[in-house]
Structure 1
C-alpha cells in the first residue's frame, strides 16, 4: 500500500484519488479551496490546506491542479504555486522515503522539466537524488472520469532524468490496472497528450463540417451515413491508418477527390475549411505518392 497525496480536488484529482483508493492505497488531498476540500471530505477522504502539507510519509504526489488557457497560452500559475508548496514541504522533517511527484496537467513540452527545476530551487534538493519527478497525462472524460481512470486503455509515463527508482515506483503503482504502460521522455509525453486532444478536436470538427454541408445540400439522416462511414473508411475502423511516415496523401483517389470536392463546394458557395486545410497541409509537406485506400 502506498501513501498518495493528490494536489487538486477537481474532476481529475478526484478521479485519481478514487481510482487508487480502490486498490487499497491511502489517499490524502490538498487544495486551497474550502469547497473542494468539503466535497472530497464527503467522499470519505482526508483533505488539507496547502500550509498543512507534509511529505514525511508520502510515497507519491499526483499534481492535478488547474492549467487553463490564458491570453499568453497555458496559465501555469496554479502549477507553479503547487510546485512551490511541494518544494517547501520537501525541506521539512527527516525524510526516510523517496517521494515521487507526478504531474498530470496538459502542458506544453518542457513544462515538467521547468517545474522540476523549480522544485530543486525551492527545496535545495536534487531531483533523481532526493526525490523523483515524472509526467503522466490523464485521458479522462469529465462525465466518466472515475470509470476512465479505473479502466484505462493505456498509461503514459515520462520520467525526469535517468531515474530508474522513480520509474519503478510509478510502474508498481499502475500494476493493478490492466493496460499497456508506455515509458517515454517527459517532453514526448507532454507532446503526445496534445496529439491525443487535438486529434479528437479535428475529428469532431470534420464531422461537424460534414453535418453542416449535408444541411446545405438537402441530405438527411446524416448520422446514419456517418455510421456507414465508420465501417467503410479505413481511417475510422483501423486505428493505425494514416500514422505511418509515408509523406502526404497521394495515389489516384485522395488528392483528386479533395480537389474536386473543394471546387464543387466553391461553385455552390459552401465553405469547407477542414477539407481545405487537409489539402493545404499535404501540399506544404511535399508530393510523395502513397497508395490510395
Structure 2
C-alpha cells in the first residue's frame, strides 16, 4: 500500500521506516525543509536504535520526504497524523499542530478524486479524532467523512529507545475507525505483523492509549510510595516487589522504585487525562496523586544528599544521567531536570555526564559543567547523584576513588556497594 506520514519526530520517523520495512511505499511530510533533506539523504532525524539502518535501506527507494501535502495525498491511500501534542500550562494537550495538519490534509483531499483515509496516530484525548480532526478535514475538503474519505485512530505503544523493535513486534494493535472501510485500510498496513488487531471506535482507541500509559505510570508511583515507606522501616523494597510481582494479577514490571518517571508520554498523558476528566466534571484523585508522587520523588535525592554532606552551597555535585531513561537522548520530563534546577538554586557546583543527552540538556542548563565521562564528572566531587539507568553506571568502581567525598545517592538501584573495591557512603533513594 501507499502511505504518507505527517511529522518526523519519534512516532513519525519510526512509523515511516517500519511501514517501508513492511513493504509499503511511504512519503514523509514535514514543513521543516531541513528534515526533508535529511530524510531524503537517508539520515534519521532523531536517534532510535535501528532507525538509521532502516532509513538508509529504504530512502529514495520506497521512502521519500516532501513538504508538499498535495503530492503526498495524491500518491498515498492513507495519511497518518504523527505530530506533537505538547502539554499546556494546565496539563491539557495543545492541539494546534494537529489542527494545522488536519486543515492541510483537508485542502489536499479536496483535490483528490479517490477515497483517502486520515489516521490519527498522535496521542490525543478521547473525542479529539471525531470532534476536532474530522470536522476540520470536512471543512477544508468540502467532503463527507465516511463517504468521500475515511477517519481512524491508531494509537502507538512504542518505548523510546526500543521503538523500532516495538513497532515490528507489537503486543497490541488498536484501530478505531468511523466505518468498516477505514478500519480495513489501516488494518491492511499491519497485515504482515503477527498480532491480533483490536477494532473499536476512535474515542475508545484514544482512551486505550491513555489508560495504558496512566496505569504504567500509576504502578511506578505506587512502587515509589511503597519504597519511601519501606526505607523508613529499613525494609528492602526490591525484595518486597520481587515477591509481590510473582502474583500473575500484578506482575513484576514497572514496580521498580526510584527517582520517578519522565519522557514524552507518561507525564503528559496522565496530566492530559486528568485535564479531560476535570473538563467533564470528574475529579480524578488517584491520577492526581500519581503526578504528585512523581513530582516530589526526585527532590528526595537532594534531601538525602543534604543529610549526608549538609549545606550544598559551593559543593561539587556530580549528576550521572540526564536522559529520562537509558538508550535515548530524550530529556523531556527527565527527573534530572528538577534535581539540577534545585542544585542550582542551592548554589551547588554541578558536573554532569550522560552518554547521549548532553547537548539537549545544555540548552536548558548552560552553566553546568558537562563532562565526557563519568570518571571526569566524579573527580573532586563532594557527592554523586545517579539519575538514569545507564548500564555503564553499574560498572563504576574505582572511579569513585577520585571523589573528594565518596557520597553516592542512587536513584536507579544500580550500585551494589558490597561488590565495589572502593568504600563509598552509599544511599538508595528508596532502599
Q: TM (normalized to structure 1)? A: 0.75
Does residue 74 of the first structure (1) align with residue 93 of the second (2)?
A: yes
Stretches of structure 1 that go unaligned for 5 or more consecutive residues are 240-272, 279-293
Higher RCO (C-alpha 8 Å, min separation 6): 1
Does residue 48 of the first structure (1) align with residue 66 of the second (2)?
A: yes
Residue matched to 1:224:
239
Give the 5 Å matches for 1:196-235.
Answer: 196-220=212-236, 222-231=237-246, 233-235=247-249
Equivalent residue pairs, number: 236
Match of 1:101 among 87, 102, 118: 118
Give the 5 Å matches for 1:23-172.
Answer: 23-41=22-40, 42=43, 43=55, 44=59, 45-50=63-68, 53-72=71-90, 73-92=92-111, 94-95=112-113, 97-114=114-131, 115-160=133-178, 163-172=179-188
Matches of 2:25 and 2:212 in 1, distance apart?
31
Residue matched to 1:267:
none
RMSD of aligned alpha carbons: 2.2
Matches of 2:136 and 2:204 in 1, distance apart?
20
Residue matched to 1:184:
200
Match of 2:250 among 224, 228, 236: 236
Matches of 1:107 and 1:117 in 2, distance apart?
15
Task: Tell me how far 1:33 sits from its aligned partner.
Answer: 2.1
Secondary structure of the corresponding residue to residue 165 of structure 1:
helix
Task: Tell me how far 1:139 sits from its aligned partner.
Answer: 0.5
Q: Are the counterparts in 2 of residues 9 and 30 from structure 1 also a CA contact under 8 Å?
A: yes
Matches of 2:155 and 2:93 in 1, distance apart?
15
Q: Are the counterparts in 1 of residues 8 and 29 from structure 2 also a CA contact under 8 Å?
A: yes
Q: Are the counterparts in 2 of residues 50 and 85 from structure 1 also a CA contact under 8 Å?
A: no
Q: Are the counterparts in 2 of residues 10 and 36 from structure 1 also a CA contact under 8 Å?
A: no
- What whole-Å deviation, never above 9, does each CA across 1:102-142 have from its counterpart, x for those lacking one? 10112111100121111000110111111111001110111
Task: Tell me how far 1:39 sits from its aligned partner.
Answer: 4.0
Residue matched to 2:296:
none
Task: Tell me how far 1:238 sits from its aligned partner.
Answer: 10
Task: Tell me how far 1:48 sits from its aligned partner.
Answer: 1.1
Q: Are the counterparts in 2 of residues 158 and 186 from structure 1 also a CA contact under 8 Å?
A: yes
Matches of 1:208 and 1:201 in 2, distance apart?
11
Residue matched to 1:258:
none
Matches of 2:107 and 2:3 in 1, distance apart?
18
Q: Are the counterparts in 2 of residues 84 and 118 from structure 1 also a CA contact under 8 Å?
A: yes
Matches of 1:26 and 1:80 in 2, distance apart?
25
Matches of 1:51 and 1:198 in 2, distance apart?
34
Secondary structure of the corresponding residue to residue 236 of structure 1:
coil
- Higher helix proportion: 1
Q: TM (normalized to structure 2)? A: 0.52
Matches of 1:229 and 1:167 in 2, distance apart?
40
- What whole-Å deviation, never above 9, does each CA across 1:146-179 have from its counterpart, x for those lacking one? 111111111111112xx22212211222211111
